[in-house]
Structure 1
Amino acid sequence: MTQPTLILVHGAFANSFSFAPLQAELAFHGVRSAAVDLPGHGFAATFPLGYQAPQDLAQFTSAPGSIRGVTLEDNVQTLAEAAARAKDNGPVVIVAHSRGGATLTAVANAHPELIDHMVYVSAWAPVNLPAAAYNAEPEMAEVDNAALARALAGDPGQLDLLRCNFRQADPEVLDGLKELFCADAGDDEFRLFLNSLQPDENLDAGGQDDRAQAGTWGTIPRTFVRLGEDRSMPPAMQDRLIREGDALTPDNPYRVRTLASSHVGWLIRPAEAAVQLAQIAAEVGGEFS
């Protein structure tokens, strides 16, 4: 069996650090993985001094951020470069979470030759609409983003980025964020997750031209890992994305798996997710024996 490399792609406000527990579990299964930081993420992120305690909100909400002006095209270039490096050593499986799915889709549209299998974990895989437009669809109607809206800091128009104050102590905001992202986690686990996020995210979520294309994206084998307890991307929306992808390329449908997890619970407690991803890696490696 030829060993594939799993390239892990984070979601909004996250970074490669999010995958550390998962990568440890994958290693115990003998699976090779590499977590990437998209531009302006990880050690390239900005953490304004005013973000520290005691917070200086005036400084925090006005400080410039390194992610300003970063585009989906920039994300695509970074992920494509990572995939090309991994491709030198065997098959490539790209695993994208949440907003990272938009980058995976765009890379698959532009560089299908770099990817041997795609895995969307409750991730945006836009087909009929641009990724951002799905937020206005009926499947998202019951998503309560009030806490996330209250966490926003500064003027996105002036900063040219999204900035959130994840280090505030407002109990209503914290309770709302926990409910939205990881209701299945303990309070300490939730706060640790929150403190692993960075305050800034880029504004460019893609557009009309970044929807999945049958002739490129649609030629790559793919899996959708549903998160059955996700409240930020409900299962109904995940299922819609699966249906739309299958309708686009009915001869190459999603292979569907389900984890009993919230949006980030599988990253906090990754044992079962690692088992599922190890199985996918073994299947892909077997195809290249």
Structure 2
Amino acid sequence: MSAATSATIMLVHGACHANWCWDRVVPLLQQAGHRIVTPDLPGRGDRGKPDWRWTLKAYADAIIEDARQTGGPVIVVGHSMGGPVISAAAESAPDLFDRLVYVSACLPSNGDSLASIAAMDKDSDLEGASSVAWLKGVVTINPDRLKPVYYGDCSDADLDWVRPRLVPESLRPSIIKVRLGDNFQSVPRSYIRCTQDRGLSIQMQDRLIERQPCQHVATLEASHSPFLSMPDPFVKALLSVI
């Protein structure tokens, strides 16, 4: 895409977050001439409370609904858990998506789940990073692991802004296997690697890209959350892969 081309870009957040996480990059993308959509996944905002009922299909269906409301195909960007979400949405409704962009995200192959990808990642610091309330069917990020695992290059002020905004996440989307076929494969893919990520290691990111090759790949010397730690380089990287 040329710098002069305007696109509709949908930004899909990861687990325990909501659309607020994109606040620093939205104005930069708008200044570049793009229309930006930042949906909340179910279980936050106007889409209900966080609990066990929400599934990966419910998340994908929400993205499909929002893409339809834009009036045309969108470039959809998924961060972290947003990777399986946008993949499932593309499998169900490929005509709604011009491109899938993964930002340090779980890029699944058919039959993967978020949990199975995490289990394969032997180089991350995920152990002890979250707690599961089994009776409630939700998972939460342990506060003392937030910075080292997910926000390593962010300031203390950034973390103070993030902590009160985090929500419990339904466990079900993480354990459900993603079923992907020709529809998913028909949508072009890009990936933004984050070399300092301790939630999804760079080794695992590269393995995912090897299994599901992407047309464009960009790299940031960033932790798991470059939209907060380095919004300008993040936007530059994003625009380079769409």
Please indicate, yes or no, whether the TM-score normalized by the shorter chain is above 0.5: yes
Instruction: Report the secondary structure of 2:190's partner residue.
Output: strand
Deviations along 1:44-103, whole A, 9 cap, x unmatched? 465xxxxxxxxxxxxxxxxxxx433111111111000111122x2x44100000001111
Any conservation in 2 of the 1:125–1:211 contact (CA below 8 Å)?
Answer: no
Secondary structure of 1:42's match?
Answer: coil
Structure 1 or 2, whichever has the larger Rg, is 1
Q: Which residue of 1 aligns with 2:124?
A: 143
CA drift of 1:243 comes to 0.7
Say yes or no: does 1:95 pair with 2:77. yes
Alignment-derived partner of residue 198 in structure 2: 231
> Amino acid of the residue matched to residue 162 of structure 2?
F
Query: Is the contact made by 1:29 and 1:278 (CA closer than 8 Å) also made in structure 2?
Result: no
Contact 2:153/2:222 (8 A) holds in 1:
yes
Q: Deviations over 1:195-220 (max 9, x none)?
A: 3312x101112533x1432x111111
- Residue in structure 2 matched with residue 195 of structure 1 by the alignment: 164
Structure 1 residue 146 displacement after superposition: 4.4
- In structure 2, relative to structure 1, the CA distance for the partners of 1:99 and 1:163 (3 Å cut) is same
* Equivalences for residues 165-244 of structure 1 within 5 A: 166=143, 173=144, 176-198=145-167, 200-204=168-172, 205=174, 207-208=176-177, 210-213=178-181, 215-244=182-211
Report the CA distance between 1:120 and its aligned residue.
0.5
Q: Which amino acid aligns with 2:117?
A: Y
Q: Aligned partners of 1:256, 1:265: CA distance in 2, in Å? A: 15
In 2, Cα distance between the equivalents of 1:122 and 1:207?
20
Q: CA deviation at 1:273?
A: 1.1
1:265 alignment counterpart: 226
Q: CA deviation at 1:161?
A: 2.0
Give the strand-richer structure, 1 or 2: 2
Task: Name the SS of the counterpart of 1:192 in structure 2.
Answer: helix
The superposition leaves residues 219-257 of structure 1 with CA deviations (integer Å, 9 ceiling, x where unpaired) of 1111011111111101111111111112xxxxxx43111
Please name the residue that 2:93 is paired with. 111
Post-superposition Cα deviations, 1:255-287, rounded to whole Å, max 9, x if no partner, equal 111111100133333111112223445xxxxxx
The reply on whether 1:161 has 2:138 as its aligned counterpart is yes
Question: What does residue 255 of structure 1 align with?
Answer: 216
Contact conserved, 2:226 with 2:234, CA < 8 A, in 1? no
Deviation at 1:177, TM superposition (A): 2.4
Match of 1:63 in 2: none
* CA separation of 1:216 and 1:21: change in aligned 2, threshold 3 A: same
**Corresponding residue pairs, total:** 237
Does the C-alpha gap of structure 1 residues 187 and 147 become closer, same or farther in structure 2, counting only changes over 3 Å?
farther
The structure, 1 or 2, with the larger RCO (C-alpha pairs under 8 Å, 6+ apart) is 1
The CA deviation string for residues 166-186 of structure 1, in whole angstroms up to 9 with x for no partner, is 4xxxxxx2xx32111122112
On the 8 A contact 1:245/1:254 being kept in 2, the answer is: no
Equivalent residue number for residue 117 of structure 2: 134
Q: 1:135 to 1:271 in 2, by over 3 A?
A: same
Comparing 72-81 with 176-185, greater Cα deviation is found at 176-185
Question: Taking every aligned residue pair, what percent have the same amino acid on both sides?
Answer: 30
Hey, which of these two has a bigger chunk of helix by percent?
Answer: 1
Shift of the alpha carbon at 1:129? 4.7
CA distance in 2, matches of 1:254, 1:185: 30
11, 18, 22: which is aligned to 2:21? 18
The 3 A distance-change label for structure 1 pair 237 and 75 is: same
CA RMSD of aligned residues (A): 2.1
